[in-house]
Chain A
Amino acid sequence: MKISLNWLKEFVEIPVDPHRLKADLIGVGLNVESFGAAGDDLIFEIEVTTNRPDCLSHYGTAREVATLYRQRLKPLEYTLRESSAPASSEASIEILDPELCARYCGRVIQGVEVKPSPEWLKQRLEAVGQRSINNVADVTNYVLMELGHPLHAFDHARLTGHKIIVRRARVGERLRTLDGVDRTLGAADLVIADAVRPVALAGVMGGEDSQISGSTRTVLLESAWFEPVFIRRTSKSQGLHTEASHRFERGADIEMAPKALDRAADLIVQLAGGEILRGALDVYPAPQQRNPIMLRRSEVQRVLGAEVSWEEIERFLRALGFEVERRGTDGWRVTPPSFRLDVSIEVDLIEEVARHYGYNRLPSRVKPAPARVTGSSVREVELKISETLVGIGYREIIPSPMIDPDENARFTDRPPVVLANPLSQEASTMRSSAIPSMVRALKWNLDRYRNDLKLSEMGRTYTNRAEGLPEEKQVLTLGLSGRRQGASVHGTEEGIDFFDLKGDVEALLEAFDLPGLAFEPAECLYHEPGLGGRFVAGQTPIALLGKLKESLARDYKLRQEVWLAEVDLDFLLKASLRHPSFKPISKFPPVERDFSLVVPETTPYSSLEAAVRGLGLEETQSIMPVDRRRSEELASGTIPGGHASLLLRVTFQSPTHTLASEEIEAASQRVLEALEPLGVRLRA
């Protein structure tokens, strides 16, 4: 809302400079964004919150200024020169739906000359952002800006039967509004009609046919009050937001209707000549009453934590237009004015007091919450994961989970959540897999010549369900591409492979107590066949990892191989972190034994390790495959085809004594025995 300082001064004296005024208005909740010169005037740009339609006018703003500086607000009194002919003989008003139109006032002005407005009026309207049309239309806009009440001027001659009927539209009735749009109306629309057809969309916009034109001689001026919720609905359904609907949907002042009408009639006669017919036509079937509210001083104290004096509370409220009567020892009976529909309960009054008392004058205290033992384990786990990821080189990303449904479908069978009003096709679905977001992030960087990438995301996936809210699952995604180590004087470059990804997932899972944790190769929609697998905890798969399928990589135009993992965060957040339990450090030396083995290629390494661990030898400290080569990699005939050589290093150490060579020999023998059933034998 643009407010002219000169205009404001017509209603109240302002004893401060504009900078101070700006700060003080902000202090009472009128957010002045800026002010600037316009000729000899200053224009304040004020952001008015939706609860304060009364401040969408100069007069309403003046009331706040008057309250701020203890100034008198100029009362609104208009004495009109009326002709002897009664208005009632020239027009009649009928409200068929008093629920939606609680009041309709009209005046008839005869003999006007419609012409351009005088300079002062044009300038003022322009200064507050309104376009000048003609003297009559400009007056209605002027009064709107001044008093905040929307008005409409009809060409009296165009009203068939000189009648105004406020009614619901009949299905299929048509109206061309002032914006030139032909609108087909329905029973949900409220119209102002003459004897035969609609002439205006009530509270929103007038009709083109009955608008003021150069040939207009008699004006019928409308000043009405329409029900806010209904106007909002009409404005929405017609896609039409106007200065009038903006105010009516926020709640106009029903008692302002006749005053604004008189103010406008007076101005029209001044600018366009003519005479005002005697009497305002005022249909107001059920005069509105505001319910009084009890305000307790103790409640003011409870909510604000401050002792505000009786006198101050009364002064603020009265200056703002409230009727205030002391009641009992603790308070008042307060009746809000007709222009403050936003005030209906005690705490609303307390806000009024607080606004003018000044938020910055209110006391301030810091009181920590009562100590409580809370299960903050989720955050603990998140921090642990985050710490591990940073340590092993992952940069965290936070992509938007809104993606293209077709893209989503290439990574998962789970149904995503489709948006009804998306901003674009690419962001029309809440993803049911987090992998596409990761692939996109990798691509973004690869396309920008960043080659070595380790990215992570802790986010959610969203899966549609037949009933209830969608299922939201927390998921950790890892994305890897490029080199483990770049070329430098310290070594040659090494590319990333599956085991980099697997090692990172292992490092992550190591922090948790996961009974039955095991890895198994597995197929997955988006993995390259044979280069993907999963970790399971007992029967539950908790992590999927592998290389992005080549066909997908091609479609994304990725320059490099990409490795991806998704980890079930919900599972990890519920799992317990491994609780360290100290084991005494052995004082006795470890002994390494190397087994040079020949292993059938079909026997996975994991089964060897499981067999050795299965022995339960207390001395077995670690088992490490040190070297593995397939028969093709060795000189021919060294080992049989279909086999691989494997150098297995087992470290033995006892917590109680130095292992004797016989003990080591015995343990080694048992290791070999355990491996034998798997077709494993010592290399000759």
Chain B
Amino acid sequence: MTLNSSMTIDVKVRNTLVDLGVLNASDVRALFQEALHTAENELMEFSRPGPSDVSQAAKVLRDRWLARKGGIVSLIDRNWLKPAPEELKPAVGAEFNALRQLVGAMLSTESLLMSFENAANEAMADLPGRTPRPTAPPDLTLPGRRRPLGSVHPVTQVMREIEDIFLGLGFSIESGPEIESVYYNFEALNIPESHPARDDWDTLYVDSQTLLRTHTSPVQIRAMEKHGAPLHIICPGKCYRHDNPDSTHATMFHQVEGLAVDTDISFADLKGTLDFFARKFFGEKIHTNFFPSFFPFTEPSGDLAISCVFCDGKGCRVCKDSGWVEVMGCGMVHPEVLRHGGIDPAQYSGWAFGLGVERFAMMKYDINDIQLFHQGDVRFLEQF
């Protein structure tokens, strides 16, 4: 059996030298040195400001080492010295006598009180009979002993950042199933099968009535049905598209959609809130630009572009020299969609937006390949 360095002295003194694999005089010496250092360390520990009841603590320490029955010194006598192999007996005996004297002196009542009254280091230095220890300090330029931390996925980080901004504006978080009915994913959102707009969403189907949601918008309908108006929610989550994977397309990706429905909501709220959000996320220096677009579930519909963060709007490869980068779709909720959610569009109006989280993360961290997010490569993950 090899000597287990992680074993404490308490364990060692309960084993014989043979059990511990101590087979020669130099091992014996090392073992006794260890016992002595342990006693010194415990004395140093004791001398730090701490126990309110000094005499009790002193008694505990002394008993631990010197008690006739079960004290460490007596255990050494019983387990190390007595059963020691004949050839080691003289060495063990000599070490044992030295140890007993040193520990006895160190832990005498006077010594303990003195060490308690002095500062720890001075007390140690003044102790009589202390064996000289190597004084060369360790090489402090060696690397530190690291306990590696983990990391939160960049998509999760970006998602939480987005969530935090909207939570701060009083929105709450809703979630829903990723495997959805065609009704919630399309029909309720005013995207009938018969309309060519349906082709804008390449869809993975389970069967004719069930699909992998192509956006988190179905959660909006479910939330309207469940909570009614007024409603201020964001819906983060996974979405799926029947897209061949490449550096900008992933079959699975994440979206955050938002929805605000109330009696006094107009396009001005959409603009103000999304402008606030975009500047909070991308930095206050950026500018926002809203322009018309088309989504079957909003009317009027828009896209939000921000001034390119890579070239400050001067034009570059990322923004295709336009100075602007589209970051999300948005619009006033289509009255038909409100109706599908059980909300009267004559009384309430709403605005909504949807954005791709991977895309945001790509812009934020200058990542050029969406596939990196989903491979689980630690060489990627450890950078965030």
Contacts and interface: CB of A to CB of B under 8 A. Distances in A.
Bind each other: yes
B179 A417 contact: yes
A414 to B, nearest CB: 14
Interface string A45-85: 00001111000000000000000000000000000000000
A398 B268 contact: no
Given A367-B272, A423-B244, A229 B194 contact: yes
B57 interface: yes
Interface in B184-209: 194-197, 199-200, 204-207
B232 interface: yes
B42 to A, nearest CB: 12
A345 B381 CA distance: 50
A376 B205 contact: no
A366 B57 contact: no
B152 interface: yes
Given A376-B173, A420-B206, A469-B177, A51 B376 contact: no
A304 B374 contact: no
B8 interface: yes
B294 A52 contact: yes
Contact of A376 (B19, B167, B290): B167
A364 B206 contact: no
Interface string B221-233: 0000000001010
A49 B331 CA distance: 15
A469 B179 contact: yes
What is the size category of the interface that chain B forms with chain A? 35 or more
B51 A351 contact: no
Contacts of B268: 304-306, 362-365
A455 B148 CA distance: 12
A538 interface: no
A26 B195 contact: no
A386 B143 CA distance: 28
B319 interface: no
Contact of B266 (A303, A444, A596): A303
B150 A390 contact: yes
A658 interface: yes
A455 B212 CA distance: 26
A633 B1 contact: yes
Nearest to A371: B170
Contacts of A605: none
A430 B56 CA distance: 65
* Interface SS of B by simple majority: mixed
Interface string B1-41: 10000011011001010110000000000000000000000
Given A26-B291, A347-B335, A376-B167, A395 B204 contact: no
B156 interface: yes
A618 B40 CA distance: 32
Contacts of B148: 393, 454
B118 to A, nearest CB: 21
B173 to A, nearest CB: 6
Contacts of B381: 395-397
B242 interface: yes
B125 interface: no
A670 interface: no
B247 interface: no
A421 B266 contact: no
Contact of B177 (A27, A354, A427, A472): A472
A647 B75 CA distance: 14
B142 interface: yes
B52, B197, B293 — most chain A CB neighbours (10 Å): B293
Contacts of B150: 389-396, 454, 456
Contacts of A400: 250-252, 374
Contact of A368 (B169, B194, B207, B230): B169
Nearest to B209: A469
Contacts of A470: 177, 179, 206
A635 B153 CA distance: 51
Interface in B249-276: 250-252, 254, 260, 266-269, 271-273, 275-276
A626 interface: yes
Given A355-B300, A372-B170, A647-B11, A396 B204 contact: no
A453 interface: yes
A635 B292 contact: no
A348 B299 contact: yes
Contact of B276 (A366, A398, A423, A441): A366
Contacts of A420: 205-207
A117 B10 CA distance: 102
Interface stretch (A167-175, A215-223, A584-592): A584-592
A418 B212 CA distance: 11
Interface stretch (A28-36, A91-99, A514-522): A28-36
B302 interface: yes
A470 B177 CA distance: 9
A627 interface: yes
Interface in B139-167: 142-143, 145, 147-153, 155-156, 160, 163, 167
Nearest to B56: A658
A232 interface: yes
A396 B291 contact: no
A289 interface: no
A87 B147 CA distance: 91
Contact of B194 (A232, A430, A469): A232
A209 interface: no
A419 B212 contact: yes
A616 to B, nearest CB: 25
A634 B181 CA distance: 65
B133 interface: no
Contact of A396 (B10, B152, B250, B254): B152
B377 A305 contact: no
Nearest to B381: A395
B260 A369 contact: yes
B171 interface: yes
A667 B41 CA distance: 29
Interface string A576-598: 00000000000111010010100
A575 to B, nearest CB: 18
A503 interface: no
A445 B145 CA distance: 24
B317 interface: no
B140 to A, nearest CB: 12
A488 interface: yes
B379 interface: yes
A369 B232 contact: yes
B76 interface: no
B269 A367 contact: yes
B155 to A, nearest CB: 6
B292 A28 contact: yes
A84 B177 CA distance: 69
Nearest to A633: B1
Contact of B210 (A51, A363, A469): A469
A386 B19 contact: no
Contacts of A401: 238, 252
Contacts of B290: 359-360, 362
A386 B152 CA distance: 7
B107 interface: no
B308 to A, nearest CB: 15
Closest 8 CB pairs of A and B: A305-B266, A29-B292, A369-B170, A305-B268, A441-B376, A49-B294, A369-B232, A397-B376
29 contacts: A28-B292, A29-B294, A50-B196, A50-B200, A229-B194, A350-B299, A351-B300, A362-B271, A366-B169, A369-B260, A371-B170, A372-B172, A393-B148, A395-B153, A396-B153, A398-B374, A399-B374, A417-B179, A419-B205, A420-B205, A422-B204, A423-B245, A444-B377, A448-B379, A454-B148, A455-B376, A489-B142, A490-B145, A635-B18
Interface of B: 1, 7-8, 10-11, 14, 16, 18-19, 51-53, 56-57, 60, 142-143, 145, 147-153, 155-156, 160, 163, 167, 169-173, 177-181, 194-197, 199-200, 204-207, 210, 212, 230, 232, 238, 240, 242, 244-245, 250-252, 254, 260, 266-269, 271-273, 275-276, 289-294, 299-302, 320, 332, 334-335, 349, 373-379, 381-382
